């Protein structure tokens, strides 16, 4: 019997990232743009999906709803005629690539379009796991406060597009635009930030146009 040391240097995310690449490439071949929607609970992820879909009349839209439990959001989306499937993680705080790969077997993709994957409401770990997306969309509400880039920097650093929701509440919650913007720009120099309001639909036409440009 003898002891020996083995150098490894293997990224623990490798297996997840390998599956994420497969999901990403296979959906791209079908003409699907995959959007990973990340944000805190109550930030307005589902309301934003509904408003984006309203402004995408010519696009086929698919939704995968991730929730710890319940299908409230899926029921809401299906009532609007949006093709939606539900994933319940039963406690897990983020979606990962194997979960998405498995759930795609239930989704009938019959034409090119946009697939929105609503991640679990959480600003921490969804940012660490690739799930096969082409775009990471961060939904952040004015009501959460302007310090969020400083408290959850990774989510802001990795975002390809940021929606600042509930903008009509800014004045009531002392939202500091300058402080928020300085934090976002320190982390991510070029990410577009769209100010929106899901109650009135303001700003969503521009968001949907951005998605169409990104897809084509």
Partner 1 sequence: MHEFPITEQIVKIASDKAKENNARKVTRITLVVGEYSGFIGDSIHMYFDILSKGTLCEGAVLEIENVKAKWRCPSCGIDFIRKPLSFACPECGQDGEPTTIGKEFFVKNLEVET
CA distance to 54, 95, 152, per residue, from 102 (Å)? 28, 12, 29
Identified binder of partner 1 from the candidate list 61, 109, 125, 181, rule CB under 8 A: 125
Look at the block and give the residue holding tokens 């690539």: 97
Task: Give dist(CA 108, CA 105) in Å, integer.
Answer: 8
Phi then psi for residue 196, to 5 deg, are -135, 165
- Provide the 10 A C-beta neighbour count for residue 25: 10
Distance in Å, CB of 199 to partner 1, minimum? 30
Identified binder of partner 1 from the candidate list 109, 181, 187, 191, rule CB under 8 A: 187
Distance in Å, CB of 33 to partner 1, minimum? 26
Q: Is 17 in the site for partner 1 (CB under 8 A)?
A: no
Q: Which is nearer to partner 1, 152 or 204 (CB)?
A: 152
Q: Is 12 in the site for partner 1 (CB under 8 A)?
A: yes
Q: Is 191 in the site for partner 1 (CB under 8 A)?
A: no
Distance in Å, CB of 153 to partner 1, minimum? 7
C-beta separation of 197 from 166 below 8 A: yes
Q: Is 145 in the site for partner 1 (CB under 8 A)?
A: no
Task: Classify residue 214 as exposed, middle or buried by CB count within 10 Å of its CB (0-12, 13-18, 19+).
Answer: middle
Q: Which is nearer to partner 1, 4 or 58 (CB)?
A: 4
C-beta separation of 32 from 62 below 8 A: yes
Give me the 52-81 binding string for partner 1, x by CB under 8 A, dash otherwise. ------------------------------
Task: Give dist(CA 43, CA 138) in Å, integer.
Answer: 10
Longest dimension (CA), the chain: 73
Size of the site for partner 1 (CB under 8 A): 34
Identified binder of partner 1 from the candidate list 150, 169, 170, 214, rule CB under 8 A: 150
Identified binder of partner 1 from the candidate list 82, 107, 109, 154, rule CB under 8 A: 154
Give me the count of residues in the chain: 216
Residues that bind partner 1 (CB under 8 A): 1-13, 15, 91-94, 96, 124-125, 127-128, 147, 150-151, 153-154, 157, 182-183, 185-187
């Amino acid at each position: 019997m003898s002891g020996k040391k083995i150098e490894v240097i293997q990224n623990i995310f490798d297996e997840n990232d390998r599956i994420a690449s497969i999901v990403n490439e296979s959906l791209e071949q079908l003409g699907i743009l995959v959007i990973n929607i990340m944000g805190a609970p109550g930030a307005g992820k589902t309301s934003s999906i509904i408003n984006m879909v309203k402004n995408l009349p010519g696009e086929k839209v698919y939704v995968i709803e991730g929730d710890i439990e319940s299908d409230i959001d899926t029921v809401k989306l299906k009532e609007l005629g949006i093709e939606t499937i539900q994933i319940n993680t039963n406690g897990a705080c983020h979606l990962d690539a194997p979960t998405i790969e498995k759930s795609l077997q239930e989704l009938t993709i019959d034409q090119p379009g946009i697939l929105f994957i609503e991640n679990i409401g959480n600003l921490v770990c969804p940012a660490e796991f690739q799930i096969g997306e082409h775009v990471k969309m961060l939904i952040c509400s004015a009501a959460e406060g302007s310090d969020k880039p400083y408290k959850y920097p990774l989510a802001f650093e990795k975002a390809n597009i940021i929606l600042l929701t509930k903008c009509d509440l800014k004045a009531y919650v002392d939202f500091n635009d300058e402080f928020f913007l300085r934090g976002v720009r320190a982390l991510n120099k070029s990410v577009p930030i769209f100010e929106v309001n899901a109650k009135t639909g303001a700003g969503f036409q521009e968001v949907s146009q951005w998605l169409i440009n990104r897809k084509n």
